[in-house]
């Protein structure tokens, strides 16, 4: 059984492709759905989604592919949606729509075919003449003009909808020729080419989609102190970070003995080096199945001297930081050795940072 195929052509839009969340400053995602209802109880059709800021709008032309003609001049719609305002729970959408004819569908098919041709020309580059490219561009512009004019001639209706996330509204319904023969009339030559139309009708629906939250990366991060002779001393944290946003981390100070500095016999001084390690983890979305993130590691130090009389003196020491582009398999441990710190010309215990990440479901 053949199914109807839907096509969406966008001519103008005030669109922003940004992450949507609960904030009233983030774009909302609006979906236009065209549903074809069939005689066997099944459905087919298509959807298109756009993200809107307040005041933003888009225009689209959902239509029927004519695999099974309903025998009516209307085969689709011109739809324009504007986000008028919003608050924390609802959005006010101004939606106008009007039915379009098969002529509009023909314009859309030509635009789609010529756009594919133009894109092929751009990929070939020097293998395409400037004249052919310019003629194709002009033809696309002419067809877009004819499509807009045909749609504007249709009677338009308008509604102001107050929707919350998850709401959907049926705007219009075009009946089909469900169960009736289309093609050659029965009993005439060529009657074998006739068939029963399997479509009952076609509906137009607008939806306000729930907020789309970015994926969350869970990262185990360790600060490992490796003394010259002895077992590792480990600090461990679990950090959860949203893609493209990131999270900070910081470890407790690590105190390293720095020996004794006796300026004179009466004022022996014990010294220790306090090191603070901190940074950020910023996940990067990808489609290759690996973990990608930007890992920043910063180190600060201070020398703390304790006099024989009990007083302490703190002096800032060396520090620095770096950002790494990490690419690893889920669950793989990646280690970063921090540069050595010298105290009176001698290296103290080494420090390293290790990370292991996976995306939460």
- pLDDT bucket at 150, cuts 50 / 70 / 90: low
Say what percent of the chain tops pLDDT 70: 72
Choose the weakest-confidence range: 43-47, 157-161, 249-253, 304-308.
304-308
Of the candidates 151, 174, 168, the one whose C-alpha atom is nearest the C-alpha of residue 9 is 151
Rg over CA atoms, the chain: 33
Q: Are strands 269-284 and 254-261 parallel, antiparallel or unpaired?
A: antiparallel
Q: Is the pLDDT of residue 7 over 70?
A: no
- pLDDT score at 137: 84
More reliable by pLDDT, 271 or 160: 160
Residues 272, 254: contact at Cβ < 8 Å?
Answer: no
SS (H, E, C) 104-142: HHHHHHHHHHHHHHHHHHHHHHHHCCHHHHHHHHHHHHH
Which of 344 and 133 is assigned the larger pLDDT?
Answer: 133
Work out the average pLDDT over 267-279: 78
Find the mean pLDDT for residues 143-172: 80
Exposed (0-12), middle (13-18) or buried (19+): which is 270, by Cβ within 10 Å?
A: middle
Quote the DSSP letter at residue 193: G
- Pairwise CA distance, residues 242 & 359, whole Å: 10
Confidence of residue 116 (pLDDT cuts 50, 70, 90): confident
With 80 as the cut, is the pLDDT of residue 225 above it? yes
pLDDT at 93 over 90: yes
Q: What are φ and ψ of residue 178, in 5° steps?
A: -45, 125
29-77 per-position pLDDT tens digit:
899 998 888 888 888 888 889 988 888 999 888 876 554 544 455 577 8
Which residues 6+ apart lie within 8 Å of 311 measured at CB?
none
Confidence band of 96 (pLDDT split at 50, 70, 90): very high
In the chain, what percentage of residues exceed pLDDT 90? 28
The mean pLDDT of the chain is 77
More confident residue, 271 or 356: 356
Least confident of 16-25, 45-54, 118-127: 16-25
Mean pLDDT of 179-187: 42
Confidence of residue 17 (pLDDT cuts 50, 70, 90): very low
Work out the pLDDT band at 16, boundaries 50, 70, 90. very low
Lowest mean pLDDT of 179-183, 196-200, 239-243, name the range: 179-183
pLDDT (average), residues 75-82: 86
Q: Looking at residue 106, what is its pLDDT?
A: 67
Span 113-117, average pLDDT? 81
Quote the pLDDT of residue 236: 95
Q: What is the pLDDT of residues 230-270, one digit of tens each?
A: 788 999 999 998 887 889 999 999 887 766 544 444 455 66
């Amino acid at each position: 059984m053949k199914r109807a195929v839907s096509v969406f052509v966008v001519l103008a839009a005030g669109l922003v492709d940004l992450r949507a969340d609960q904030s009233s400053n983030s774009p909302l995602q609006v979906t236009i759905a065209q549903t074809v209802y069939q005689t066997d109880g099944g459905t087919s059709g298509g959807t298109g989604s756009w993200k809107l800021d307040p005041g933003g709008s888009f225009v689209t032309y959902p239509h029927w592919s004519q695999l099974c003609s309903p025998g009516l001049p209307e085969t689709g719609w011109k739809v324009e949606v504007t986000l008028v305002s919003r608050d924390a729970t609802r959005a006010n959408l101004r939606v106008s729509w009007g039915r379009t004819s098969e002529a509009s569908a023909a314009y859309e098919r030509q635009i789609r075919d010529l756009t594919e041709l133009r894109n092929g020309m751009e990929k070939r580059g020097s293998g395409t003449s400037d004249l052919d490219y310019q003629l194709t561009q002009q033809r696309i512009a002419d067809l877009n003009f004819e499509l807009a004019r045909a749609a504007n001639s249709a009677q338009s209706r308008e509604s102001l909808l107050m929707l919350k996330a998850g709401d959907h509204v049926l705007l219009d319904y075009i009946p089909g020729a469900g169960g009736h023969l289309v093609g050659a009339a029965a009993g005439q030559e060529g009657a074998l080419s006739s068939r029963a139309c399997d479509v009952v009708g076609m509906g137009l629906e607008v939806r306000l989609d729930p907020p789309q939250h970015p994926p969350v990366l869970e990262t185990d991060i360790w600060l490992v102190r490796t003394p010259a002779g002895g077992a590792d001393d480990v600090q461990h944290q679990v950090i959860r970070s949203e893609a493209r946003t990131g999270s900070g981390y910081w470890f407790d100070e690590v105190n390293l003995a720095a020996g004794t500095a006796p300026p004179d016999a009466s004022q022996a001084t014990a010294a220790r080096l306090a090191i603070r390690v901190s940074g950020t983890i910023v996940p990067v979305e990808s489609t290759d199945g690996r973990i990608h993130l930007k890992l920043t590691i910063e180190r600060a130090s201070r020398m703390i001297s304790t006099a024989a009389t009990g007083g302490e003196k703190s002096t800032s020491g060396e520090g620095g930081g770096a950002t790494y582009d990490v690419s690893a398999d889920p669950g793989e441990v990646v280690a970063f050795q921090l540069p050595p710190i010298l105290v009176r010309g001698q290296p103290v215990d080494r420090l390293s940072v290790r990370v292991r990440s996976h995306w939460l479901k």
